[in-house]
Amino acid sequence: MGVSFDKIDGVIWYDGKLVPWADANVHVLTHGLHYGSSVFEGERAYGGEIFKCTEHSERLKKSAELLDFEIPYSVAEIDAAKKLVIEKNNLPDSYVRAIAWRGSEMMGVSAQSNTIHLAIACWSWPSYFSPAERLKGIRIGLADYRRPDPKTIPAMAKAAGLYMICTISKHKAERDGFADALMLDWQGRVAECTGANIFFIKDGKIHTPIADCFLAGITRATVIDLAKRRGIEVIERRIMPEEMDGFTECFVTGTAAEVTPVSQIANWKFTPGTISEQLMNDYTSEVQPKGKQAAA
């Protein structure tokens, strides 16, 4: 195990100013801790530039609105704060985490008068999976929990509470020897992994679930665009688990996972191939700052 996250040396942007890492604390009676009233973003900086920075800030604001609170900073101010954090921590290649939450003024289900806080941190965090692991394909189990009906929860928010079943599912998968878990939706259709969207390949075409009960990731949208630039057809549709017998390749996408091929889901097997590898390489090129892209 590495250094505990509360022991990292650096600074965190907290409610409008930079504070020492160890001082970026909240009270134990914070509403966000007790009732899950917090939203966050996971982003990556490459060569000093945060990929899709503004899109992440916009989604953070939208997630907060879905949880019935307003972040008291504009998208431009959030963008500037994120850039300041990676600069002051001297981490041009890093993972960036912005989080907003309800404070401690009211402790109960209703918290309309609570202060809304925002903090932004960054740290060194490579891809979820090592390069060697990515190229050979990761193994994924099946989760017991399902993504909930969007009529029961704000599924389009990147909200902390929505990840509770993801943590449980990933822990079980890891105990069973898998790298992650595939979650079905409330109707038993293929949805996503615990922190990544999923894609399948058959006859040169890409198939991916419709993102209407889980987050349509920014990395997901980027990879769909990259595939279309290559002339590869992308079909967004309902996918039943038994259809996985007919797919030849599979990969997952996410800010942390980037593009990672899959070799197995439960008893279904896949062979990482040319399309998965091409999109993995295309994504690596896409996220590099424009100057470095030109020099490559």
Same domain, 153 and 65: no
Same domain, 180 and 278: yes
Same domain, 240 and 185: yes
Same domain, 103 and 150: no
Q: Backbone phi, then psi, for 279, in 5-degree steps?
A: -70, -30
**H or E element in which residue 51 lies:** none
Structure tokens at 202: 């058959």
Domain stop point among 123, 155, 186: 123
Domain stop point among 98, 123, 148: 123
- Is residue 281 included in any domain, yes or no? yes
234-286 confidence digits (pLDDT tens): 999 999 999 999 999 999 999 988 999 999 999 999 999 999 999 999 999 99
Same domain, 59 and 191: no
Same domain, 175 and 272: yes
Q: Which domain holds residue 108?
A: 5-123
Cβ–Cβ < 8 Å for 100, 38:
yes
Please tell me the distance from the alpha carbon of residue 193 to that of residue 158, in angstroms, as a whole number.
Answer: 14
Same domain, 179 and 141: yes
20-65 confidence digits (pLDDT tens): 999 999 999 999 999 999 999 999 999 999 999 999 999 999 999 9
Same domain, 135 and 117: no
Cβ–Cβ < 8 Å for 42, 256:
yes
CB-based contacts of 23, cutoff 8 Å, min separation 6: 14
Using DSSP's 3-state secondary structure scheme, residue 57 falls into helix
- Given this model, what pLDDT does residue 128 score? 66
**Amino acid in the structure at residue 24:** A
Residue 118: which of 164, 53, 74 has the closest Cα? 74
- Is residue 293 included in any domain, yes or no? no
Same domain, 136 and 258: yes
Same domain, 84 and 177: no
| Pairing outcome for strands 49-50 and 38-46 | antiparallel
Same domain, 93 and 147: no
117-153 confidence digits (pLDDT tens): 999 999 998 776 666 677 899 999 999 999 999 999 9
- Is residue 282 included in any domain, yes or no? yes
Please tell me the distance from the alpha carbon of residue 185 to that of residue 132, in angstroms, as a whole number.
Answer: 31
Task: Give me the CATH number covering residue 13.
Answer: 3.30.470.10
Query: What is the arrangement of strands in the sheet containing 94-102, beginning at the earlier edge strand?
Result: 17-20, 11-14, 116-123, 94-102, 38-46, 49-50
**Active site residue ranges:** 158
- Given this model, what pLDDT does residue 179 score? 94
- Is residue 139 included in any domain, yes or no? yes
Please count the structural domains in the chain: 2
Task: Give me the CATH number covering residue 188.
Answer: 3.20.10.10
| pTM > 0.75: yes or no | yes
Domain stop point among 123, 140, 163: 123
